[in-house]
């Protein structure tokens, strides 16, 4: 494997996970979100690829595509930071065989167990946005799914409306 094709490693629910590195469209989606997320509160930032300790016992590690948190949340923390002040995590599906299990099953469970308030999944396979909220320590109690092109409300504490029309340009 060449260096530019090297995968990222995560440790989710006691299993070592391999995640494809970001492609140009995934990076564009994250850049686009950085314009939207500070709207409701300029004292927070969307951090790309910040590693988090996740799971009930916090011994798991995940590197979400983006993390919304107050400014300076991760100052002084290492590669795998505490998720305590995280408001939202964002995942953009990869075009690999493990994205279904990883992004649609394991990560929502791990993020809900961790108590992360909102999980935003941008699903490039189905051309849908899924907003998970209301973690109960095991799972998210609410999941809202909208097709690309619709507006979706990211619930508090995120508190913004997201017009998903531009996402149509960043799928295969």
* 20 contacts 96 by C-beta, under 8 angstroms: yes
Q: Which of 118, 170, 132 is nearest to 148 (CA)?
A: 170
Per-residue pLDDT, 1: 39
- Could you say which DSSP state residue 4 is in? G
- Cα-based distances in Å from 13 to 64, 69, 124: 15, 23, 24
* 81 contacts 52 by C-beta, under 8 angstroms: yes
Per-residue pLDDT, 13: 53
Per-residue pLDDT, 70: 96
Per-residue pLDDT, 11: 54
**Parallel, antiparallel or unpaired: strands 118-123 and 88-92:** parallel
* 19 contacts 9 by C-beta, under 8 angstroms: yes
Cα–Cα distance, 144 to 152 (Å, whole number): 8
For the chain (172 residues), the mean pLDDT of every run of 10, in chain order, is 52 57 77 84 93 80 93 94 96 79 85 96 94 95 97 95 95 82
* 109 contacts 138 by C-beta, under 8 angstroms: yes
């Amino acid at each position: 494997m060449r260096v530019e094709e090297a995968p990222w490693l995560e440790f989710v629910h006691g299993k070592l996970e391999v995640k494809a590195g970001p492609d140009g469209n995934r990076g564009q989606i994250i850049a686009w979100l950085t314009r939207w997320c500070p709207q409701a509160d300029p004292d927070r930032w969307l951090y790309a690829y910040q590693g988090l300790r996740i799971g009930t016992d916090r011994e798991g590690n995940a590197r979400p595509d983006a993390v919304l948190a107050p400014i300076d949340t991760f100052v002084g923390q290492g590669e795998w930071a505490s998720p305590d002040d995280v408001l939202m995590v964002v995942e953009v599906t990869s075009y690999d065989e493990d994205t279904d299990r990883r992004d649609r099953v394991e990560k929502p469970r791990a993020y809900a167990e961790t108590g992360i308030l909102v999980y935003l999944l941008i699903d490039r396979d189905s051309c849908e946005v899924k907003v998970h909220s209301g973690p109960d320590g095991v799972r998210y109690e609410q999941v809202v799914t909208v097709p690309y092109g619709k507006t979706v409300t990211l619930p508090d504490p995120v508190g913004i409306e997201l017009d998903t029309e531009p996402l149509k340009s960043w799928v295969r």
